[in-house]
Structure 1
Amino acid sequence: MSDWSEHYATRVSNMQASEIRELLKLLDQPDIISFAGGIPDPALFPHQAIAAAYQRILGDPERSAVALQYSISEGYLPLREWLAGYMGRLGVACTPENILITNGSQQALDFIGKLFLSPGDTALVAWPTYLGALQAFNSYEPRFDVLPGPDTNRSLESYTAGGMAKPKFGYVMPEFQNPTGTSLSLAERERLLDTAAEFDLPLAEDSAYEKLRYDGERVPSLLALAAARAGGIDHCKVLYCGTFSKSIVPALRIGWIVAAKPVIQKLVLMKQASDLHVSTLNQMVMYEVASALIEDLADTMRQVYRERRDAMVAALDRYMPEGVSFTRPEGGMFVWVTLPEGIDGAALLKRCIEVGRVAFVPGAAFFADRSCRNTMRMSFSLIPPAKIEEGIKRLAAVLKQMISETAV
C-alpha cells in the first residue's frame, strides 16, 4: 500500500479520531449499557411533523423548485428571519444579516477556528472542554491555554509571558457544558466579559443545550450581555453558535451563528468556499417544524431528560464509593465524575466493557493536554431510569474492585 504521509499538510498531524464517535459503535451491542454518547433520544424526534413538512414542500411545484435548487450561502431567509425573532426573545436584538446558517454547530466551530487561528496562535478553552471544539480548532494548528473562569483568575501578562502573542479568541459553553454539565452564573459571565474586554478577546459562545434547562432560572447569554454593554450586536465581540440538533433533530444538520455583520460577511465567504450552502430543503423543513413546535418539543424533552438526570444523580449517590465526586447539572445531558487519584478512566472503561458491560467516555479526551485521567463523562439522555440505575450499579462494582486492587 502506498505511503501518503509525506504528502499531507502539516495540519493533518493534529487530526485524531473522536473517542466518542468510536464509543457510539457500542450502541449496536444490546447487552452494553452505554452512557457514552451525548445524543438525543430518537423516540422524542417529531417524525410525523418532519415527514409532513417534506411532503408539503415537495408536493408544491413552486416551493419544491426553490427547495431543490442552489441557494444563497447566508441561508434560507424565512428561517433567518424566524431566528432573528427567536434570538430577540432571548435578549439579542438582531436582523437576518447577523445570522449565518451552518451545517450544524460543528461547522460553525470549524469556521470560527478558520476565521481566527493561524498556526501557533493561542485559543483559550475551558479545562475540560467540548471534544468536538478541540477537533475543529486543531485543524488550524493552535496552542491551547486555559480560559479565565471561576477557578482561573489570570492576567493577560500570564498568557503572553515568554514573548507569546496575546490569545486570539476564547471558546466557552456557558450553559450545561459538555462534558461537565456545569453552567456559568450571571456573575461569572459578567466577569468573563470584563476579562475579554481587558484582553480585547473575541468569545465564541456555544449554546447547544440552551433549551434543556430543568432547574433554576434562565441566565442571559454572553451575547445578550455583551450587546447590552456595547450598545448593539454590531458593536460587541461575541459570536453565538446555536443548533436545532438537541432541541428538534440532529440529522437535518441545521445550526447557526449570530454575530456582528462584518464577522458574518467573512463567514459567508467561508461558507461559499466550503459547501456553498446548507440544504435548502432541510432548512425549509426545519423552519416549518421549529416555528410551529419548538417550545412544545422542548417541554417534552425537558420532562424526559429531567427524570433521567435525577435517576443518574440518585444512583451515583447510592452506589459510588467514597472518594468519588460528581456534578449535579441543572440541565443538558451530562454528569462529570471525578474518580479517586490513581484510577485511570481509560483503564476503568476497558474493564467496565469486559466485565460490567457498561460504557462511558474517559475524561482525558476533553482536556487539550490529555490530563486529569481520573475523570469520566456520563450521559443520561438515551437511557431510561431503571437501566440507568443498573448501569451505575455495575460501574460502581467494577470501580470498587479497582480501588481495592490499587490499595493493596
Structure 2
Amino acid sequence: MPPLPLPRLSSRAQAMKASEIRELLKLVSRPSMISFAGGIPDPALFNVGMFQDAYRDAFAGPSIAREALQYSTTEGYLPLRQWIADRMGQSGIKAGADNILITSGSQQALDLIGKLLLDAGDTVVTARPTYLGALQSLSAFEPTFAPLDAEHRTGSEAPKMLYLVPDFANPDGRTMSVAARHDALALADRLGAIIVEDGAYSALRYEGEDLPSIAALDQQRASSIEATRTLYCGTFSKTLSPGLRIGWICGPATLIRRLTLMKQGADLHTATINQIVMHHAAVACFDVQVERSRAIYRVRRDAMLAALGRYAPAGTTWSRPQGGMFIWLQMPAHIDAACLLEQAIRSDIAFVPGGAFFPDGTGRNTMRLSFSLCDEAQIEIGIFKLCGLINAHASARPLVVNA
C-alpha cells in the first residue's frame, strides 16, 4: 500500500530545515573520525558519581521521591531557581526566584522568547555569523534577520529583538567589548527592542578578565531588574550536563510571567526529577566542574591554535578566542567549505561549514572548528590533515591579486 500523501502543512512548517550540525553529527560517529564539528562538552568531564548520588538522594525518602516523580510548577523547582538567582547576583544581576523560569535547555528558552515577541515579518538583529540554533528556532516565527552593524530605523519597522552572544560566541568565538555591550543597550533603547543575551559559554573563560554581562550593565543603569530590557538565557549544558536539559531565562518578572504561560502550553514544566538532580549537582560541585573544564579546554584551544600556526596555508585566517569551544577559520574566497567537507569526511575529519551560521547563506569560505571533544594528539593530526586539504583546494585555483 503506498504511503499517504503529506497533509497540508503550515507555511512555517514547510519552511523549516534540519540543523546542519545535527545532521552532520549522524555521519561522524565512526571511531576513526576526528570531529571538530559538534560544540558539545567532553563526556569524560561529567561527574558521573555525583549524579548517581543525586538520583539516589532524590529517592532516599518517600516525600522527596513523590515530589521528584510528580507534576511541578511551570516556573520550576524553587530551590534551583533560587540557586540560579543567587549565582546571577554574584555576577551583578540582582534577581529573585520570580525572575527565573526553568526551561528545557536554553534552546527552549529561545523558542519561548520567539513566541512571546515575534510576528511574521518582524526584524531580529544578530551578529553575523551567529548561532545556528537561534536562527533555526527563531525562523519558525518568520522574521527577517538584520546585521548588528546596519542602520535600524525606529517606528513600525524597528527591530523587536537583538539576539547577542557576548562571550565566546558560537560560532566564531568573539567576545564583545564593554563598549560594544553599552552600544547594544543604547541601540535597544532607541529601537524600543528587547535584548536576548545568550550566556551559554560565559563560564568557560581561559584568559583575561571577566566582563559584565549585558544584563548586568542594563541593571546598573536601570537600578532594578524590573526596569531592564534584557532577557538572559543560561544553561547547565556546557558546564554540568547537557543530557538533563536544564536551562533558564532571567528577566523582569512581568516578562517571566508571560513566558511561563508560553511554557505551560508547550510542555507544562521541565522534568521535576531532572531539576532536583541538577540542583544537587550545582550545590555540590558547580565551581569545581567549571574549573576542571576550563583547564582541559584551555589546553585543547592552545593545541588547535598552535597546530593552525604550523600548518595553515597562506591566505587562511582564524580567531583566537579567550574562552568557549570554537575557533572560526576563514579560507581564500574561492574555497567552498561545504564542498571541502565531503573530502574531509572521507579523510576522517569533520567540521561545520560556516554558511550555516549566516541567515543569507553567505560565508561559504568559512568553517567552525570545535576543540572541546578532541585531545591534543587528535587535534594535531586533524588540523594537519585539514590544512592539507585546504592547501590543495587553494592551489587548485590560484588567487588573483589585484594590481
Pairwise same-fold verdict (TM > 0.5):
yes
Out of 147, 152, 155, the residue aligned to residue 156 of structure 1 is 152
* 1:215-364 matches, cutoff 5 A: 215-354=207-346, 356-364=347-355
TM-score (normalised: structure 1): 0.95
- Which residue does 1:378 correspond to in 2? 369
Secondary structure of residue in 1 paired with 2:94: coil
- Which residue does 1:75 correspond to in 2? 76
* 1:3-18 matches, cutoff 5 A: 3-4=5-6, 7-18=8-19
Secondary structure of residue in 2 paired with 1:407: coil
The one-letter amino acid paired with 1:123 is V
- Which residue does 1:20 correspond to in 2? 21
**For residues 276 and 387 of structure 2, what CA distance do their matches in structure 1 show?**
47
State the Cα distance separating 1:306 from its structure 2 match.
0.2
Out of 373, 379, 395, the residue aligned to residue 404 of structure 1 is 395
**For residues 283 and 225 of structure 2, what CA distance do their matches in structure 1 show?**
23
**For residues 17 and 151 of structure 2, what CA distance do their matches in structure 1 show?**
32
What percent of counterpart residues are identical?
49
Residue-by-residue CA offset, 1:264-291 (whole Å, 9 max, x unaligned): 0000001111100011111000001101
State the Cα distance separating 1:156 from its structure 2 match.
2.8
Contact 2:160–2:191 (CA under 8 A) maintained in structure 1: no
* 1:89-100 matches, cutoff 5 A: 89-100=90-101
Secondary structure of residue in 2 paired with 1:214: coil
Secondary structure of residue in 2 paired with 1:203: strand
State the Cα distance separating 1:26 from its structure 2 match.
3.2
The one-letter amino acid paired with 1:25 is K
Q: Does 1:34 align with 2:35?
A: yes
State the Cα distance separating 1:14 from its structure 2 match.
2.3
Give the 4+ runs in structure 1 shifted more than 3 A: none
- Which residue does 2:383 correspond to in 1? 392
The one-letter amino acid paired with 1:32 is M
State the Cα distance separating 1:196 from its structure 2 match.
1.3
Which consecutive unaligned segments of at least 5 residues does structure 2 have? none
The one-letter amino acid paired with 2:182 is E
**For residues 238 and 36 of structure 2, what CA distance do their matches in structure 1 show?**
17
Secondary structure of residue in 1 paired with 2:397: helix
Residue-by-residue CA offset, 1:205-242 (whole Å, 9 max, x unaligned): 00001110000000000000001111111001000000
- Which residue does 2:109 correspond to in 1? 108
Which consecutive unaligned segments of at least 5 residues does structure 1 have? none
- Which residue does 1:207 correspond to in 2? 199
**For residues 27 and 34 of structure 2, what CA distance do their matches in structure 1 show?**
9
**For residues 65 and 224 of structure 1, what CA distance do their matches in structure 2 show?**
38
Secondary structure of residue in 2 paired with 1:106: helix
Residue-by-residue CA offset, 1:29-50 (whole Å, 9 max, x unaligned): 1122110000000000010000
Contact 1:26–1:34 (CA under 8 A) maintained in structure 2: no
Contact 2:28–2:350 (CA under 8 A) maintained in structure 1: no
State the Cα distance separating 1:391 from its structure 2 match.
0.2
State the Cα distance separating 1:407 from its structure 2 match.
2.3
Contact 1:131–1:366 (CA under 8 A) maintained in structure 2: yes
Q: How many residues align?
A: 397
Contact 1:26–1:32 (CA under 8 A) maintained in structure 2: no
**For residues 383 and 152 of structure 2, what CA distance do their matches in structure 1 show?**
43
The one-letter amino acid paired with 1:48 is G
The one-letter amino acid paired with 1:103 is S
TM-score (normalised: structure 2): 0.97
Contact 2:124–2:159 (CA under 8 A) maintained in structure 1: yes
State the Cα distance separating 1:2 from its structure 2 match.
2.2
Residue-by-residue CA offset, 1:159-210 (whole Å, 9 max, x unaligned): 87xxx61111110000000000110011111111111111111100000011
**For residues 281 and 345 of structure 2, what CA distance do their matches in structure 1 show?**
39
**For residues 328 and 13 of structure 1, what CA distance do their matches in structure 2 show?**
38
Contact 1:175–1:183 (CA under 8 A) maintained in structure 2: yes
